[in-house]
Structure 1
Amino acid sequence: MAKTTKPTTTKPTTTKPTTPGTPRRAREQAGKTRLAEPGTPARKPLRGVSQIRAFFRRNTTPIYFVSPTAFNLLGVDRWVSGFHYVNYLDSFDGTHPRVFVPQARGVDGFGSMEEMNNHLLAHPEVYDLVREKGRGKAVLVMFDEETERLAGELGIEIAMPSAALRHRLDSKLVTTRLGNEAGVPSVPNVLGRVEDYDGLLALSASAGLGEDLVVQLPWGDSGKTTFFVDGRQAFEAAAAEHVLTGVELKVMKRIDCRAVAVEAVLTRHGTLVGPIMADITGHPELTPYQGGWAGNDVHLDVLDDKQRARARVLTEHLGDRLASEGYRGFFEVDYLVDTGSGELYLGELNPRLSGISSMTNVTAGAYAELPLFLFHLLEFLDVDYEIDVAEINSRWADPDTIDVWSQLVIKHTGEDVGLLTEAPATGIWRSGPRGRVTFDRPATDWHDLCDDTEGFYLRIAGPGDYLYKGADIGILVSRGRLQSGEGTLTPLCRRWVDGLRRQVRATPVGELPDSATVPAAK
């Protein structure tokens, strides 16, 4: 088991220039947003966390989080005045004062989150909302060049790095190369193309990786493009679902490992690193995908003292390397911990908000400082600010800022397709004796959970939505551990999953009228 004693860590030196020969002042200027218009009184720089906190309480720039649901940034509206959620799915049945969902949503035939976000930005009701609330900034988890065009037509600036830069950095192949250059090692691997299984073996042999392999395509999420290949049959099964021949692949030696994740913000002053959490991955009770992400646990024993310090330093190194690519703002890193040697390897780099942003912004560290997301916003608002990155990172690294939080993403794991008729409501639920799960009270986020007998459930799919393989049903947030140190789901977790699933009802697609439009699995 990991140690629980207080680590002895030195303060990281993240205020140095990231590129040799680049003066710090020039780097800071490059990271700032545009200057005030001529004639506008200059605003004094914000100095320190307390002034930044007060600035956001008085914020007058409308900020729109455009996403299918409010999940990733739920609760940020407690910190930022003028923060609005623009969503396609109404998890709150109209009761959340900051959530806007168009009344005329249209039919969900979207093939990606980007398509759904573009639909929202092009929606007449969203145009009316922006006209009422004012032009401002937009933040999104996923977007593309079309999103940038639509936001421009609305007069909204996307407060994120460009879609083109994000797409390039999102490639697992690019991530591997950048990690190597930053001194952040990956699991032994080789990059290349193959035409068949024999070609895969030849490529693997060239790097001495053996025949028990993990094969990844450059892009993909929730484990959908990660394949565990230990023979010809496994390769052919993966190739039947995705094109693996003639495209560049990342081929890794398969190791016994567990996954951890951390989010960070690359600011003009250096990289701020958030809490480290364990990934809940691949459990068939939660997801149909073998390597699929299904949640996270935040607690002190995710890593031991030495590993925790190393993960934070490696993340800072990645931030420095990203700065030289012109990147700034939020990013998330997955590490693979070799259960034998204890070594940390770079798994993935996600240059965006992510599924763990919800946890990052609710921990004790966030309340002692500020949610990391607010430092991201500062990079895209017309304000100058000064912070001591090393000092803040030292406080985030303190074990006293680590409390217990967990989240589960519950997906539809079957092959069947159906139309939902009943689904658990959003709010705080209670797990009672003999596994009984009951609705306790309405709530708009998980900040008011009292103990591990309560859980906040965010409904994703509701009555009238379709269930299909991999569809998100809902997300549970708990103050208790949902995964053991050995990587198994805890009894508490199983009670929650079983109890919530029992309250989901759907009509099989074969029993629907012929006129029903059934979406394809995403």
Structure 2
Amino acid sequence: MAPDPTATEPAATEPVMPRATPTGPEAPEATIGTDAAFATEAPPTAVQHTVRNISELRHFFRTNNVPIFFIGATPFNLLGLDRWVRNFSYISYYDSWDGAHPRVFTPVNKPYVEFESGEDINNWLLLNAEVRARMNLNVRPGVRPKVAMVFFNEETERICRELGYDLILPAAELRHRLDSKMVTTKLGNDFGVPSVPNVLSKGSTYAALRADADAASLGKNLVVQTPYGDSGKTTFFISNEAEWDNHCEDIIGDDIKVMRRIKNLPVAVEAVLTRSGTLVGPFLTELAGYSELTPYPGGWCGNEMHPEVLSATQRTRAMELVKAMGDGLSSEGYRGFFEVDVLVDLDTDEVYLGELNPRISGASAITNVTAGAYADVPLFLFHLLEYMDVEFELDIDEITERWEALSGADVWSQMIIKENSDVVQQLTQTPATGQYYLDSSGAMVFNRAALDWHMLQNESEAFFLRIHGPGDYRWHGSDLGVLVTKGRLQVEEGGVSKLNIRAKHFIDCLRAGFDGVPLDEDGLAIFTPGPGVKSQW
């Protein structure tokens, strides 16, 4: 039962999160977002006409009769998209709802596996017998289920070919090549999309690094990146030989990008390259490197969307940059969804290409709840359209302009909470997935079970997606969960972004809800019996 919002709770200085027994998914509401889940599918013999406007696009997906699956460790990136797309569901390794989400399927039989990557998790799911049975359930003869995911490789493509699935993503070989920061920088130069002043080099010695940086007039303070990395794990800040020594094992022998360190505003934007042109989504600021959220200096840990992300001039330049990048990617054979990190130099107001992520990204969750998404459709539907068996002719520039005009209508934020200590534990207690609120005393209280964050109304509410649950393990750098809320989580002080008091309070409350037991030298949980409890180990 949800707590009474008027009840007196403990003071906010001692965060308390009452655990509620899940009572199943919330009742669907009759809104444009939920219509697709209950709509009647188009007849199998229906003639598909060319889609020429948003109304026809909505109708196409509202009556979609082809199964579409998003596969991953969690459904976070595209959670809620099933509100617009009929027959859209999620295959997830972690079941954050304990079986209560009607569109999320998690296999019951999950023997312990030490996964090395997101690709390993997705391939394991594809090969799982329970997953295969679920994906083939009620599929009409001749219909090939569509599959989307964040991380995939050539083995993923091979599995999908054998199982008769359409992997609706660019080729893994192309994606891997474009994912390299070295390739991105070179392509950006070719497309007229400049990066922060840099030099491409080979990691060898500090003396060689300084020689290359001096020749390119990059200054004393440097940012060094290796070709591939996740959430800032391969971005290093080096100003002296001691800092080089701290990171050199991760740099030596790699191709590296050496950049001038600038005082910058990092901005993320997602876009879709379609046959009708490049559609640009909203601009989001980033949360990066906060020790309260991540153990990785410079590591991405969330996003904010608000009207003041960019000035009008900066927004225009950034839009031009992203469109130019999309047009250039077309010549490389790329199509579909991609994300660009844009860096705004706060001293010169220059706008630079930061990174290219040729995939669905962590920013997708907020992109899909913008005013533009509710006025039209979420950005990712244009990616789906590109890979579905339908012709379309859309005025992409007109849609982009309309979305830009709506960009100031919403304020949303998200933060990814990682384990930032050196603890290794088996979890015994975790916060529940669902909607929370700050009560009259300031305490963060579990309100109700919820399928996603689309129904949040104000800054006092938040949605928490639990990733690791009781019985799972937490370790240095592991993802504990994601919080999504309306309102901002950062404040500007002296030109520097910092987590605001509200954000820190959310973090403290959620971390207080995690508890676990340590592991012995054999990796087994060590349970200490309480008074009067007989040990069974």
TM-score, length-scaled by structure 2:
0.86
**Contact residue 279 and residue 400 of structure 2 kept, 8 A:** yes
2:425 to 410, 414, 418: 418
Q: What is the alpha-carbon root mean square deviation over aligned residues?
A: 1.6
* Separation in 2, partners of 1:194, 1:90: 41
**Contact residue 72 and residue 355 of structure 1 kept, 8 A:** yes
Deviations 1:187-237 (A, max 9, x none): 100001132111111111121112211000000010000000111111111
**Contact residue 270 and residue 340 of structure 2 kept, 8 A:** yes
Match of 2:75 in 1: 70
Match of 1:448 in 2: 455
**Contact residue 77 and residue 362 of structure 2 kept, 8 A:** yes
Residue 312 of structure 1 aligns with an amino acid whose one-letter code is M
C-alpha change, 1:94 and 1:428, in structure 2 (3 Å) is same
* Separation in 1, partners of 2:301, 2:354: 16
Does 2:165 align with 1:160? no
Matched ranges for 1:16-415 at <5 A = 43-134=48-139, 135-240=144-249, 242=250, 244-399=251-406, 402-415=409-422
* Separation in 2, partners of 1:51, 1:460: 36
C-alpha change, 1:328 and 1:400, in structure 2 (3 Å) is closer
**Contact residue 224 and residue 235 of structure 2 kept, 8 A:** yes
- Deviation of residue 158 (structure 1)? 0.3
Deviations 1:427-453 (A, max 9, x none): 001123554211011100001111100
Deviations 1:272-331 (A, max 9, x none): 000001000000000001110000010000111111111111100000000000000000
- Deviation of residue 507 (structure 1)? 1.0
* Separation in 2, partners of 1:475, 1:447: 14
* Separation in 1, partners of 2:207, 2:407: 52
**Contact residue 431 and residue 495 of structure 1 kept, 8 A:** no
SS of aligned partner of 2:499: coil
* Deviates further, 260-269 or 486-495: 486-495
- Deviation of residue 379 (structure 1)? 0.7
* Separation in 2, partners of 1:353, 1:80: 17
* Separation in 1, partners of 2:509, 2:420: 16
Match of 2:485 in 1: 478
C-alpha change, 1:207 and 1:434, in structure 2 (3 Å) is farther
* Separation in 2, partners of 1:74, 1:99: 10
* Separation in 1, partners of 2:70, 2:369: 17
C-alpha change, 1:144 and 1:298, in structure 2 (3 Å) is same
1:466 to 464, 469, 473: 473
* Separation in 1, partners of 2:509, 2:385: 41
C-alpha change, 1:460 and 1:41, in structure 2 (3 Å) is closer
**Contact residue 517 and residue 525 of structure 2 kept, 8 A:** no
Deviations 1:496-520 (A, max 9, x none): 011111111011224x875569xxx
* Separation in 2, partners of 1:327, 1:369: 25
SS of aligned partner of 1:111: coil
* Separation in 2, partners of 1:497, 1:400: 28
* Separation in 2, partners of 1:400, 1:70: 25
**Contact residue 261 and residue 334 of structure 1 kept, 8 A:** yes
Does 2:501 align with 1:491? yes
**Contact residue 365 and residue 401 of structure 1 kept, 8 A:** no
Deviations 1:336-367 (A, max 9, x none): 11111111111100000000000101111111
SS of aligned partner of 2:387: coil
Residue 209 of structure 1 aligns with an amino acid whose one-letter code is L
Number of residue-to-residue matches in the alignment: 476
**Contact residue 413 and residue 484 of structure 2 kept, 8 A:** yes
* Separation in 2, partners of 1:234, 1:163: 35
Deviations 1:408-435 (A, max 9, x none): 1000001121111111000001123554
Residue 511 of structure 2 aligns with an amino acid whose one-letter code is R
- Deviation of residue 108 (structure 1)? 3.8
SS of aligned partner of 1:151: helix
**Contact residue 87 and residue 100 of structure 1 kept, 8 A:** yes
Match of 2:535 in 1: none
Deviations 1:73-130 (A, max 9, x none): 0000000000110010001110000000000022141010000000000101111112
* Separation in 2, partners of 1:491, 1:181: 44
Match of 1:24 in 2: none
SS of aligned partner of 2:112: coil
SS of aligned partner of 1:438: strand
Match of 1:501 in 2: 511
> Structure 1, unaligned stretches of length 5 or more?
1-39, 518-522
C-alpha change, 1:514 and 1:340, in structure 2 (3 Å) is closer
- Deviation of residue 490 (structure 1)? 1.2
- Deviation of residue 43 (structure 1)? 2.4
C-alpha change, 1:364 and 1:41, in structure 2 (3 Å) is closer
1:437 to 417, 434, 444: 444
**Contact residue 372 and residue 406 of structure 2 kept, 8 A:** no
**Contact residue 145 and residue 163 of structure 1 kept, 8 A:** yes
